[in-house]
A and B are shown apart, each in its own frame.
Chain A
Amino acid sequence: MTSNDFLFGVVPYAVATLAVIVTIIRWRSAPFTVSSLSSQLLESRKLYWGTVPFHWGLSLILIGHLGALLVPRGFELWNGAPVRLYLLEMTGLALALWAAFGITMLFIRRHGDARIRRVSTPMDTIVLVIIGTQIVTGIWIAVGYRWGSYWGTGVFVPYVRSLFTFRPEPDYVAPLPIVLKLHVLSFFAFLAVFPFTRLVHIITLPLQYLFRPWQKVIANREPPSPGYVSNHRRIRQYRR
């Protein structure tokens, strides 16, 4: 097994398994630790300039990446006309630069503000470095290896598809430039630290809020109803 086979054929499964299993364990055994760990209360102004570009820039780029993986054909069709290709690439690059500005602000804030340093852990820096690497390599690829949305569907999407169909073909990645490999590897690093850091808050995005009733009332004991089971019987059922 070559190092390429290991890094792009074994590591992705290892980190994905780690991410899923540890997240479930953490969710069930230590739900108290799952939080966005917002520090807006302590410092608000610098956070505004950091968090808004960072979150929105990355979320939109992520949606773009997912789109390319799910409907590569759609991207190819869209990019059929050069104007549309330029438009897509420029939007992507602008979002990436926006996110880069945001993460820089966040980094400065995390290490420059006394109050924020008080609530910082080494993991916070690790997360910023990993995501920073992704953003920098992403911008590098966008500028140095132009029209990624065009060639990516043919060169890179097959590799990801091979991973998802459990027939990994790391050979797709072998001839690619080192920056691209770094971009992918830093994503694997992201997955690896995901369950151990504040990154878990990503999956807590509260979409259920769109549908739930405004008020929430919880009863310790259900009121007696026609199908009411007396407490004695409940104990017996529980013991059984």
Chain B
Amino acid sequence: MKVRAQMSMLFHLDKCIGCHTCSVACKNLWTDRDGAEYMWWNNVETRPGTGYPTGWEDQDHYRGGWHRDAKGRLKLVLHSRGGGIAKAFYNPALPELEDYYDPFTFQYGNLFGAPAGQQQPTAIPISKITGRPVEISTGPNWDDDLGGSDIYAANDPSMDGVDDAVRAQMEEIERVVFNYLPRICNHCLNPACVAACPSGAIYKRSEDGVVLVNEDKCRGWRMCVSGCPYKKVYYNWDTGKSEKCILCFPRLETGQAPACAHSCVGRIRYMGVLLYDADRIASSASEPDDRVLDAQLDMILDPFDPKVITAAKLEGIDDGWLDAARRSPIYRFVKDWGMAFPLHPEYRTEAMMFYVPPLSPIMSTIEDSLVKLDLPEERRDFELLDELDKARLPLEYLANLFTVGDTEPIRVALRKMLAVRTYKRRQSVDGTIDATTIEMLAEAGLTEATAEAIYRMTTTPTMDDRFVLPPYHREMSIEAINDPLSAKGEAGFGYRREPKRGA
């Protein structure tokens, strides 16, 4: 057992309101620069939809992630080692700018500087690359709230395998359904970007699992862009280097949550430490499709287990981190409660950002121009507890996103969320908890104490509950080569000259 620590984020999709505050916080902090305007290290997608860049989940086209070959070996979808070098001159699987969008601004100067005339001056859109007028035809969030549109939703790869009846149900205009999917880099345990990089410029930090591009070693072969199945590595066209989400490590190291999580209006984001067994990465990533999710979750170790604690200490993980791991909200959601899943585990990169799937109202029918719930009268109080198949956002769709098409784990998670909801309503509205309610909790696999804990963590967590950040002790990691007190004054990102494009 080789214990390593991972900083993980959890997205409670049931609480996401799709306000994009996270995206803007991230953009203002990190990617408001030439060459980076089109990068959205954090973005929020409307689902079903094609996301950003357009259709990123279509791996037949983009060739991201890993696959398990006929002999059960793990292979990059993108290339073999030799193939990677041969394609250095031209990478056929690289997304084009059109798959993202031509970054634009508006010619505001014209509003003030236009010569006197008969017409009001206008601020026409211009490209941030060429400075020429552009016809804006797509953008990072172009299909916002267009969940039912036949342009975007119909082209969502996760809709494959959703049967026609369910499709019709989703597409019917009165019943348009969508949810939001915020995405950042998944800081995977088996990152395909790291494996695809010919220069070896991308690496995973062992102390917190953040995946970073060493900009000094990056030579712009741009295989990482193609290799990442989540399309979360971007090529900076100005500097000729790849860039990606850094999980705000300078903030983490100073005890602050990443900007996207910190600014989250819906308070849907949680941060915490997970301990995992690094010896099992390769074997669990090569499990067959129906086992790959379980294998990934099995790698996450119990931070209360004395054997794990001993092994972690041998690897140099200190008590502060172990304590944070024991208080980790991610561990509770993922392991204790089984309510959160990684995005597309079938890509086999072992993504370490987790999602609590969203609840949705039950399907309704319209009869005599009255909206009628598709529920028997006597079950109304328990809503769709046993009727999850009638949820507007079909289980099959959520399963395609989070559980390799297996609806069972999704059903279990949603049932727990509903049970907690009903339990709390009984408690706060009716004022009593009867035997039926306790039985309902038990059927969903919960006790009263667990239901309370889930309720607390979901509805009224404080900043400290949501963000359990370990002490990084940067002063200790630098003191071997630097005087901590003088380094404190010099803290920065290590560039002694402006990161400008070379000739």
Show the binding face of A for B, using Cβ within 8 Å: 30-42, 44, 47-48, 51-52, 54-56, 114-115, 117-119, 121, 123-124, 196-198, 201, 204-210, 212, 214-224, 231, 234-235, 238
Find out whether the CB atom of B219 lies under 8 angstroms from the CB atom of A36: yes
Given contacts A37-B220, A115-B97, A201-B219, 17 further A-B contacts (CB under 8 A): A32-B241, A35-B239, A48-B90, A51-B90, A207-B85, A209-B81, A210-B81, A215-B204, A216-B203, A217-B203, A218-B205, A218-B206, A220-B477, A221-B476, A222-B316, A223-B316, A234-B479
Residues of A within 8 A of B241 (CB): 32, 35
A34-B219, A35-B241 in contact; A56/B85 too (CB < 8 A)?
A: no
Judged by a CB distance under 8 angstroms, whether B194 is at the interface is: yes
Find out whether the CB atom of B479 lies under 8 angstroms from the CB atom of A205: no
Find out whether the CB atom of B503 lies under 8 angstroms from the CB atom of A121: yes
User: For the complex, what is the distance from the CA of A207 to the CA of B195, rounded to whole Å?
Assistant: 14
| Best-buried of A54, A123, A201, A220 by chain B (most CB within 10 Å) | A220
Residues of A within 8 A of B500 (CB): 32-33
Find out whether the CB atom of B129 lies under 8 angstroms from the CB atom of A35: no
Find out whether the CB atom of B219 lies under 8 angstroms from the CB atom of A39: no
Would you list 8 pairs from A and B whose C-beta atoms are within 8 A, ordered by A residue?
A30-B502, A37-B502, A115-B130, A117-B130, A118-B130, A216-B194, A218-B206, A220-B207
Find out whether the CB atom of B315 lies under 8 angstroms from the CB atom of A205: no
User: Can you name the residue of chain A whose Cβ is closest to the Cβ of B472?
Assistant: A220
A43 to B: closest C-beta gap in Å:
8
Segment of B172-180, B210-218, B325-333, B445-453 in the binding face: B210-218
Find out whether the CB atom of A41 lies under 8 angstroms from the CB atom of B222: yes
| Best-buried of B132, B207, B240, B495 by chain A (most CB within 10 Å) | B240
Residues of B within 8 A of A34 (CB): 219, 502
User: For the complex, what is the distance from the CA of A55 to the CA of B85, rounded to whole Å?
Assistant: 12
A30-B497, A55-B89 in contact; A206/B199 too (CB < 8 A)?
A: yes
B498 to A: closest C-beta gap in Å:
9
| Best-buried of A39, A42, A121, A208 by chain B (most CB within 10 Å) | A42
A41-B237, A217-B203, A222-B316 in contact; A205/B88 too (CB < 8 A)?
A: yes
Find out whether the CB atom of A36 lies under 8 angstroms from the CB atom of B221: yes
Of A38, A218, A234, the residue contacting B220 (CB under 8 A) is A38
B283 to A: closest C-beta gap in Å:
13
Residues of A within 8 A of B316 (CB): 219, 221-224
Find out whether the CB atom of B219 lies under 8 angstroms from the CB atom of A35: yes
Interface residues of B in 451-503 (CB under 8 A from A): 476-477, 479-481, 495, 497, 499-503
Of B96, B191, B219, the residue contacting A215 (CB under 8 A) is B191
B219 to A: closest C-beta gap in Å:
5
A48-B90, A51-B90 in contact; A198/B194 too (CB < 8 A)?
A: no
Find out whether the CB atom of A42 lies under 8 angstroms from the CB atom of B237: yes
A41-B97, A206-B219, A219-B207 in contact; A32/B89 too (CB < 8 A)?
A: no
User: Can you name the residue of chain A whose Cβ is closest to the Cβ of B38?
Assistant: A41
Judged by a CB distance under 8 angstroms, whether B320 is at the interface is: no
User: For the complex, what is the distance from the CA of A40 to the CA of B194, rounded to whole Å?
Assistant: 21
User: For the complex, what is the distance from the CA of A80 to the CA of B238, rounded to whole Å?
Assistant: 52
User: For the complex, what is the distance from the CA of A182 to the CA of B45, rounded to whole Å?
Assistant: 58
Find out whether the CB atom of B240 lies under 8 angstroms from the CB atom of A37: yes
| Best-buried of B199, B203, B237, B503 by chain A (most CB within 10 Å) | B503
User: For the complex, what is the distance from the CA of A40 to the CA of B95, rounded to whole Å?
Assistant: 9
A201-B219, A218-B205, A219-B207 in contact; A42/B97 too (CB < 8 A)?
A: yes
Contact with A along B140-173 (1 / 0, CB 8 A): 0000000000000000000000000000000000
A95 to B: closest C-beta gap in Å:
15
Residues of B within 8 A of A218 (CB): 203-206
User: For the complex, what is the distance from the CA of A34 to the CA of B240, rounded to whole Å?
Assistant: 9
Contact with A along B95-132 (1 / 0, CB 8 A): 11100000000000000000000000000000001111
Find out whether the CB atom of B238 lies under 8 angstroms from the CB atom of A119: yes
User: For the complex, what is the distance from the CA of A235 to the CA of B479, rounded to whole Å?
Assistant: 7
Interface residues of B in 75-100 (CB under 8 A from A): 76, 81-82, 84-85, 88-91, 94-97
Residues of A within 8 A of B355 (CB): none
A47-B90, A205-B85 in contact; A235/B480 too (CB < 8 A)?
A: yes
User: For the complex, what is the distance from the CA of A223 to the CA of B164, rounded to whole Å?
Assistant: 55
A128 to B: closest C-beta gap in Å:
13
User: For the complex, what is the distance from the CA of A156 to the CA of B91, rounded to whole Å?
Assistant: 38
Judged by a CB distance under 8 angstroms, whether B190 is at the interface is: yes
Find out whether the CB atom of B94 lies under 8 angstroms from the CB atom of A32: no
Residues of A within 8 A of B206 (CB): 217-220
User: Can you name the residue of chain A whose Cβ is closest to the Cβ of B222?
Assistant: A38
User: Can you name the residue of chain B whose Cβ is closest to the Cβ of A237?
Assistant: B480
Residues of B within 8 A of A209 (CB): 81, 84-85, 198-200
B125 to A: closest C-beta gap in Å:
15
Residues of A within 8 A of B88 (CB): 36, 205-206
Find out whether the CB atom of B130 lies under 8 angstroms from the CB atom of A114: yes
User: For the complex, what is the distance from the CA of A218 to the CA of B220, rounded to whole Å?
Assistant: 21
